[in-house]
Structure 1
Amino acid sequence: MRFLFAVLFVFSTAAQAETIQVAVAANFTAPMNRIIENFTRATGHTVKTAFGATGKFYAQIKNGAPFDILLAADNETPAKLEAEELTQAGSRFTYAIGTLVLWSADATFITDGAEVLNRNQFNKLAIANPKTAPYGAAALQVMKQLQVEQLLAPKLVQGESITQAYQFISSGNAELGFIALSQVFKEGKVANGSAWIVPAELHNPIRQDAVILKHGKDNAAAMALMEYLQSESARAIIREYGYQF
């Protein structure tokens, strides 16, 4: 019934197409681009996106950035914005639960999971900035749980977002690093390089919440996109990139 309502809702807005601005966590870039393509085809609405670190988006929203929706990499930032009355009440929900992966562009580099960290036979380990990127914060939690935090601290290089952390690794500037599984996941497996999918119990759950912001309050296109994100069509795409619900 909910899916039927969502389909009827998004199609009913097609006659009054609008443009909305959406801030999207960098880890969700690939699935979001596909979701937007389908959503635009179904509704006629135009979605303009900015991809980046959740912490930076928070600062921009606080300073008046005209985003209509935030798709965060955590649940804390949307909840904080909600408490600060900068969102549409009741619009927040978890659109995905992220998975952290230790990844190397070298297909032979990670062969025995977390032991590669204990061996410490590399020069650089990339993570996203833990102050602004939840996946970076999760990476620090993992290293602490594995008791390698102090050992590896001198080798850490931080990207401004999970996208930059990935670039450090894919370019060879860092031999390995912690990124989002969605960045290297395709057709049910890690598409290239070598990887260790981090057990969920080693860090806090990466619950990624979406929320309509004050600028998008009562915006029909914003509400339509939020409904579409909860449709089975969108969730099928989200699952393809290794996310859970």
Structure 2
Amino acid sequence: MRLTLSRLFFSLSTALGAALSVCAAQAGEVQVAVAANFTAPIKEIAAQFEQDTGHKVVAAFGPTGGFYTQIRNGAPFDVFLAADDTTPEKLDKEGATVPGSRFTYAIGKLVLWSAREGYVDDKGEVLKKNEFRHLSIANPKAAPYGLAGMQTLAKLGLTEAIRPKLVEGANITQAYQFVATGNAELGFVALSQVYKDGKITGGSAWLVPANLYDPIRQDAVILLKGRDNPAAKALLDYLKGPKAAAVIKAYGYELQTAK
């Protein structure tokens, strides 16, 4: 009996080891360029993705416009998660992506936010009062949320009055940090940076009405470097699934409705 059990244990151990070896051999790594506004969600999604698939996500965060330049100059990214739909579309037309891989993974929302409780009212009247010293905003030439902020000021007729008070961050993360550290009393940031599970996580905010800026459709695409990387396709498939959707919605994004 001892010999039989010993052989059985050995057989099971061998089989388990072989299975783990196969999984390890099949697991890959995907290099992802991620728009700064999506930093927190992708970290959660990546952890789930790695646990469920064995593939490893190596992410870099920054402005969409900056990533476009890096990609065109040969940066080694497999996947691009942009903060708009125009930049991935442009890369599509330039032949820098895998045809048919592009889709909208999230629709972003703009918020006027202050780290101070009660500083920003729920109708954004604080902008019209113009009693603050600094308003933080991401570079509108590189960051779609910065562009949305400028569009909002234009729609409200406040561009020229507020322009001298603008403090510009290189990306939406830096724009957020200016407000969080008190270097600016308030700023235009992505809702995802200050929102989790149905509420603003600190300070005060005005959710900017969608009619004041162009829709922020955020597209994902596989780049040419990732065309033969199974982990790249697996990640985009995962972004379309229910687990990723739950995380994306938890951070205040909307999802593209099926056509």
- Normalised TM-score (structure 2): 0.89
Q: Higher RCO, 1 or 2 (CA under 8 Å, sep at least 6)?
A: 1
CA contact (8 A) 1:135 1:179 kept: yes
CA contact (8 A) 2:112 2:186 kept: yes
Q: Which runs of 4+ in 1 moved over 4 A?
A: 12-15
Counterpart check, 1:193 vs 2:203: yes
Which of 135, 138, 153 is equivalent to 1:143? 153
Partner of 1:101: 111
Partner of 1:77: 87
Distance 1:48 1:121, change over 3 A: same
Which of 199, 211, 227 is equivalent to 2:221? 211
Code of the residue aligned with 2:154 in structure 1: it is K
CA contact (8 A) 2:107 2:217 kept: yes
Q: How big is the shift at 1:66?
A: 0.4
Code of the residue aligned with 1:222 in structure 2: it is A
Between the aligned partners of 1:233 and 1:227, the Cα distance in structure 2 is 11
The percentage of counterpart residues that share the same residue type is 59
Count of paired positions = 234
Code of the residue aligned with 2:34 in structure 1: it is V
Residue aligned with 2:89, SS: helix
CA RMSD of aligned residues (A): 1.2
Partner of 1:240: 250
Partner of 2:19: none
Matches within 5 A, 1:85-234: 85-234=95-244
Unaligned runs of 5+ residues in structure 2 are 1-21
Code of the residue aligned with 1:55 in structure 2: it is G
Counterpart check, 1:53 vs 2:47: no
Code of the residue aligned with 1:99 in structure 2: it is K
Distance 1:140 1:231, change over 3 A: same
Code of the residue aligned with 2:76 in structure 1: it is P
Counterpart check, 1:37 vs 2:71: no
Unaligned runs of 5+ residues in structure 1 are 1-11
Distance 1:112 1:42, change over 3 A: closer
Partner of 1:6: none
CA contact (8 A) 2:138 2:169 kept: yes
Between the aligned partners of 2:197 and 2:78, the Cα distance in structure 1 is 32
Distance 1:239 1:159, change over 3 A: same
Cα deviation code 1:46-82 (max 9, x no counterpart)? 1100011000000000000000000000000000000
Between the aligned partners of 1:78 and 1:139, the Cα distance in structure 2 is 21
Between the aligned partners of 1:207 and 1:109, the Cα distance in structure 2 is 29
Between the aligned partners of 1:111 and 1:212, the Cα distance in structure 2 is 41
Residue aligned with 1:204, SS: coil
